Structure 1
Amino acid sequence: MDLDDILVILLAGGAGERLYPLTKERAKPAVYFGGPYRIIDFTLSNCINSGLRHIFIATQYKSLSLNRHIRMGWNVVSEELGEFIEILPPQKRVGEHWYLGTADAVFQNLYSIADETPSHVVVLSGDHVYKMDYSKMLRFHLERHADVTLASLEVPLADGSRFGIVSIDENDRVIGFQEKPLNPAPAPGSPDVTLGSMGVYIFRTDVLVRALEEDAACPESQHDFGRDIIPSLIQDAPVFCYRFYDENKKAAKYWRDIGTLDAYFEANMDLCQVNPEFNLYDPEWPLRTYLPQAPPAKFVFAEQGRRCGQALDSIISSGCIVSGSRITGSILCPSVRVHSFCEIEQSILMPGVRVGRHARIRRAIVDREVLIPRGALIGYDFDEDRRRHTVSEGGVVVVTARDEPLIGPISEEALRAEADADRSGPAQT
């Protein structure tokens, strides 16, 4: 199997409306996850770890930060060897519209595919978190002489309506595909689960081109792989289903859409556990990202009874300084500064956040470069949080630069401790 003959199209133009306001200024694949990473990093890491080094990234929605991240952090391929990771913005070379759907995003870039003359095209989504060796799926695809292979994972039958559902025969050939059905069919031999599509596809190039051209000519089509392309092919072409083989090395397979604020929050909080479901620390499956030059994280002050810089069950990224505050079950992205006498619990602080003294933050997501004022109280008063911030269905508070957090009272005891600390050490830290 010649991996140099394989082209990857990574779809990264999603608006991520359910993650708003985190996607107000960035595309969903560019949202931070797990500290220094962006969501797209996990799919790109899968590609590199799988030996796939000919990659087009189709972008669209508010792509500036994503483009910059790819340009600065993903120069890991060799142009001298013909390898590339290139961005494909909408260029209206086919019609006068932007990308109308996942299939249309690839259709509008058929000229780029033709220039590379690949034998097969791998179509991926840039907004999921998982570990997968695509070369194993390619081997499965070639051994079965398939025109198309799609990846699936077992999901509880009750959750099947959120997925494209795959029906297969005893040879793993796809005999049916429904996009988000109300009553999904159970998987063969497993009445409690169904097979959900992961949005991972392998096409013979000629089959893909023909299917996209026919779809583009159909005015009733939604131009989507799950709704239109796959259902149109399963009647006549050999389409097979590859069961997800997880490289995460855990008992339960890990694949997350993290398409809502609550799902995003819980997936991040899991990383803070002693034994999280998703393993960030496997040297055999490195996760790459763009890491700007920054000093190591630092925790200062260990004054008994007054203030102590500490973090428990947390992820603290490079460039962070925690001055005499307590961080519990939280994620601090790069270059976060937490001043003294703060309490931060179960929260995500994105890069460049500054937290003033005596702030208390609980079950919150603080967006990039937000300044949290002295004495701010976030996550403690539901009514005030609703009035001042975005609050998810699960009660997670999202703080943006335009918000004005509630300022809570600071006790006399806390003020005396602050005065004593300032007399005995550096002030305003």
Structure 2
Amino acid sequence: MPEILAIVLGGGKGTRLYPLTQQRAKPAVPFGGKYRLVDIPISNCINSDMKQIYILTQFNSVSLHNHLARTYIFDVFSRGFVEILAAEQTFENTSWYEGTADAVRKNFPHFNVQKPTHYIILSGDQLYRMDFREMFRTHIDSKAEITIASTPVDRLAATSLGILQADRKGRISSFLEKPPLDVDIEHLRIPENLHPDQAMKDAGKNYLASMGMYIFDAHVLEQMLNNDKADFGKEIIPLAIESRKVQSYIFTGFWEDIGTIKNFYETNINLASLNPAFNFYDENMPIYTHRRHLPATKINYCNFSLSLAAEGSIITDAKIGNSIIGIRTIIEPGSDLNGVIVMGASEYETPEERKQNRELGRPDIGIGRGTHIHRAIIDQNCRIGDGCRIGVDEMERKDGDYGRYHIRDGIIVIPKNTVIPSGTII
């Protein structure tokens, strides 16, 4: 029987998601009101009956470690586990991970204990639902040494992705990284017989983009990493295409890279739309996360539209539209949120703590009375005072870092644990 070991690449400093990654690893960033980004690849692995999973990370891993330890507990009969492998110093190695490939290379001593026949390598910052068993079946049936998950994209999207050239049988023969619009890539179009989706074809999605997910025969991965090359996408995969049998697995479901603030924001907000692009309500392939045993959200006299509210929140006499309300969020009367992601709180404040807040002149955790917020991300445990106006008034807002808040692609981001005094205008 095949022994498939799953490796989730937790990323480096996560600079594209800063300041959400200021105090946590990228896979630990809250998502969809109650989840973490890392829950997506792990859930896909579990639903695909691939339950031996390592998460590779090296920055701010405490929050991630706590989430995994509380969430993914397998019984002794399943032989399953979810473990973090953070960068470590040994007598042989004293350096940090230098890239995705280097991170895998340095952990072979840990992987080899499991005696895998194959590896599946996944990204920690994408939203999708995939049965990896189908991808593995393609790998075996095609007698490939490496299989790359790919998805059809249009010419504009191709400028930000790695584009693959495949023959009529799906074998990959070349790879072009982020081709600019002025470069002719007609020769990279998906062969007519290979394109699996007529609707995508009609929409101009005729180029095959790498999704950054790979299946390797175990011995092939070790051979391909027997060098000093640091990155899979930029170095290992192009090298493999030249010398190995590399197959494409074409995926036509929803897939989104959510590695930037803009993509993170838009993908979250879309979850609350009438017909979201990604369906969290699939009971056959659920997305798992930590069970918090919180009460249902209480909504008192609110105007609540096209929004999601995670458990444990209390929202009173507020107007909430096109927003995601995270766990334990307290929203006071008169507030108006439009296009806002609130990540919630890690605990409730006691009456004594709220009294102390009054004495110290600081707001409670949550959203204060009469506060209006538009197009913003409010990270965990933020204290937004009364009468604040964030992103509401007409004014110039340039991207940048401004102490208590940051602006990325026109989106205001309030970092974790920030205090915004009453009456603040941003």
Calculate the TM-score normalised by the size of structure 1. 0.85
Structure 1 vs Structure 2: percent identity of aligned residues?
A: 37
Note the aligned Cα RMSD (angstroms). Answer: 1.9
What letter corresponds to residue 42 of structure 1 in structure 2?
I
- 3-state SS of 2:288 partner: coil
- 2:413 equivalent among 398, 411, 426: 398
Structure 1 residue 382, shift from structure 2 partner: 5.2
**1:87 aligns to what?**
84
Structure 2: stretches of 5+ with no match in the other structure: 193-200, 346-364
Q: SS of the counterpart of 1:121?
A: strand
Counterpart Cα distance in 2 of 1:298 and 1:228: 51
Residue identity matched to 2:218: T
What's the offset of the Cα at 1:169?
Answer: 1.0
- SS of 2:262's equivalent in the other structure is helix
Amino acid at match of 1:264: F
Q: 1:21-420 to 2 correspondence within 5 Å?
A: 21-75=19-73, 77-93=74-90, 94-182=92-180, 183=183, 184=185, 185-189=188-192, 193-213=206-226, 215-216=227-228, 221=229, 223-246=230-253, 254-300=254-300, 308-352=301-345, 353-381=365-393, 383=395, 389-393=405-409, 395-400=410-415, 401-402=417-418, 404=420, 407=423
Q: Distance in 2 between matches of 1:24 and 1:276?
A: 29
Shift of 1:30: 1.1
Kept after mapping to 1: 8 A contact 2:384/2:419: no
Contact residue 33 and residue 327 of structure 2 kept, 8 A: yes
Question: Do 2:158 and 2:178's aligned partners in 1 also have CA atoms closer than 8 Å?
Answer: yes
Aligned length: 385
Larger Rg: 1
CA distance in 2, matches of 1:344, 1:195: 39
CA distance 1:259–1:81, shift in 2 (3 Å):
closer
CA deviation map 1:110-129 (0-9, x unaligned): 11121111111111111111
Distance 1:336 1:384, change over 3 A: farther
Would you say the 8 A contact 2:150–2:210 is kept in 1? yes
Partner Cα separation in structure 2 for residue 348 and residue 54 of structure 1: 33
Taking the aligned partners of 1:176 and 1:343, their CA distance within structure 2 comes to: 51
Structure 1 residue 238: deviation in Å?
1.1
Q: Do the aligned residues in 2 keep the contact of 1:332 with 1:348 (CA within 8 Å)?
A: yes
> Secondary structure at 2:225's aligned position in 1?
helix
Q: Is the 8 A contact 1:186 1:192 kept in 2?
A: no
CA distance in 2, matches of 1:398, 1:385: 12
Partner of 2:70, secondary structure, is: helix
Query: In the alignment, is the contact (CA less than 8 A) between 2:383 and 2:418 conserved in 1?
Result: no
Query: Which consecutive residues of structure 1, in runs of 5 or more, have no partner in the other structure?
Result: 247-253, 301-307, 410-429
In 2, Cα distance between equivalents of 1:325 and 1:245? 40
What is the letter of the counterpart of residue 65 of structure 1? S
Deviations 1:296-345 (A, max 9, x none): 10022xxxxxxx23422110111100112121121111000001111111
Using the alignment, how far apart are the partners of 2:128 and 2:275 within structure 1?
17
Which amino acid in the other structure matches residue 389 of structure 2? L
Q: Output the amino acid matched with 2:191.
A: P
Distance 2:283 2:237 in 1: 36
Task: Give the conservation status (yes or no) of the 8 Å contact 2:385–2:422.
Answer: no
The aligned residue for residue 422 of structure 1 is none
Q: Deviations over 1:277-296 (max 9, x none)?
A: 11011111111001322111
- The CA deviation string for residues 249-300 of structure 1, in whole angstroms up to 9 with x for no partner, is xxxxx11111221211111111111111110111111110013221110022
Q: Is the 2:28–2:37 Cα contact (8 Å) retained in structure 1?
A: yes
Does the 8 Å contact 1:378/1:405 carry over to 2? no
Deviation at 1:163, TM superposition (A): 1.2
Amino acid at match of 1:199: G
Structure 1 letter corresponding to 2:114: E
Q: Distance in 2 between matches of 1:330 and 1:178?
A: 38
Q: Distance in 2 between matches of 1:310 and 1:368?
A: 24
Q: Which amino acid aligns with 2:405?
A: H
Distance of 1:66 and 1:399 partners within structure 2: 20
Instruction: Write the distance in 2 (CA, Å) between the matches of 1:167 and 1:406.
Output: 56
Measured after TM superposition, the shift of residue 142 of structure 1 is 0.6
**Which sits farther off after the overlay, 350-359 or 65-74?**
350-359
User: What is the CA deviation profile of residues 8-64 of structure 1, one whole-angstrom value per residue up to 9, with x for unaligned ones?
Assistant: 111113322122111111122111111101111111110000010111111112111
Q: Structure 1, residues 378-401: CA drift from partner, whole Å, max 9, x if none?
A: 1113548656631222x2211234
Q: 1:389 to 1:81 in 2, by over 3 A?
A: closer
Displacement after TM superposition at 1:155 (Å): 1.1
Matched with 1:413 is none
The answer to whether the Cα contact below 8 Å between 2:382 and 2:419 also exists between their aligned partners in 1 is: no
Task: Indicate conservation of the 8 Å contact 2:383/2:420, yes or no.
Answer: no
